[in-house]
Amino acid sequence: MPPKRYDRDYFERWYRDPGTRIHVGVMVERKVRLALAAAEYLIQRPVRSVLDVGCGEGPWQPILARLRPGLRYVGVDSSEYAVELYGRRRNLRLGDFGGLGALGLEGPFDLIVCADVLHYVPAGELRRGLRVLAGLLEGMAWIELFTRDDSIAGDFHEMKRRSPAFYDRQFHAAGLVHCGLYGFVREDFAPGVTAFERGRERGRA
C-alpha cells in the first residue's frame, strides 16, 4: 500500500464527499463548543489562545473566531495541500506532531486541540510531541483518540491500533492528567480537578 498522502483527494473523500465523509460541520461545531466550554470552566475565564495540532484544513478556526472574536488561533498540520489552501486565511503552519518543538510556537495556550491524530502517529514521534504539547499548555488539552478496543468507521490507512494502557503511559510520561471526556491538564494544574474526574488516579487506589 502506498504511503499516506494528505492531499486534495484525501480531504475530498473524508471531509466533503457525502458518501464517505467522516467530518460533518454540525459535529465539528459540537466538538468545538464542548472543548471551549470545558477549558473555560477549568481556567475560569474566556479562552484567548488555541493551538490546533493536526488541524487539517483548520475547520475549528472559523467556528472559534465566531464564538470568541479576537481569539488567537494557530493550526499545525503536515499537509502541504491544506496549508497552501488555508494557511494564510486560517493561520496554519506546516509541521508534524513529532516536530512541534522545532516550530517556534509562541505559547502558552489556554486550549490545545489534537483531534483524531494520535492514532496515526508513530510511537517515537508521539512521545516527543506530547512532551512539547504539555510544555505549551496553560489550561486544557482536548485530545480525541481511538484505541484498538473502539469500534470505529473511517480512515484505517496507517492507523496504529494500540491499547488504552499504551496511551495512559504516554500521557503520564508527558505529565498530562485525564480529567474527563477528551480533556487533559498538566499535573501542576491537576490539583484543581476533582479526584473523581482524575480517573487514572482512582485506578491506583
CATH of the domain at 134: 3.40.50.150
Is the residue at 132 inside a domain?
Answer: yes
Is the residue at 204 inside a domain?
Answer: no
The predicted model scores a pTM of 0.87
Q: Identify the pLDDT of residue 149.
A: 81
Is the residue at 197 inside a domain?
Answer: no
Q: Identify the pLDDT of residue 23.
A: 65
Per the DSSP assignment, residues forming a β-bridge with 184 are 141, 178
For residues 118 and 145, the answer to whether their CB atoms sit within 8 Å is yes
CA distance 52 to 104: 15
Is the residue at 144 inside a domain?
Answer: yes
Is the residue at 190 inside a domain?
Answer: no
Asked if residue 204 has pLDDT above 60, the reply is no
Work out the angle at residue 52's Cα, subtended by the Cα atoms of residues 122 and 27, and round it to the nearest 5 degrees. 100
Q: Identify the pLDDT of residue 202.
A: 41
Is the residue at 141 inside a domain?
Answer: yes
Is the residue at 12 inside a domain?
Answer: no
Asked if residue 16 has pLDDT above 80, the reply is no
Determine the average pLDDT of the residues in 24-29: 82
187 three-state secondary structure: coil
Per the DSSP assignment, residues forming a β-bridge with 185 are 177
Determine the average pLDDT of the residues in 176-204: 76
Confidence bin at 5 (pLDDT 50/70/90): confident
Asked if residue 18 has pLDDT above 80, the reply is no
C-alpha cell at 8: 486534495
Confidence bin at 17 (pLDDT 50/70/90): low
Q: Identify the pLDDT of residue 139.
A: 96
Is the residue at 187 inside a domain?
Answer: no
Residue 37 lies in domain: 20-176
Q: Identify the pLDDT of residue 203.
A: 46
Please state the domain count of the chain.
1
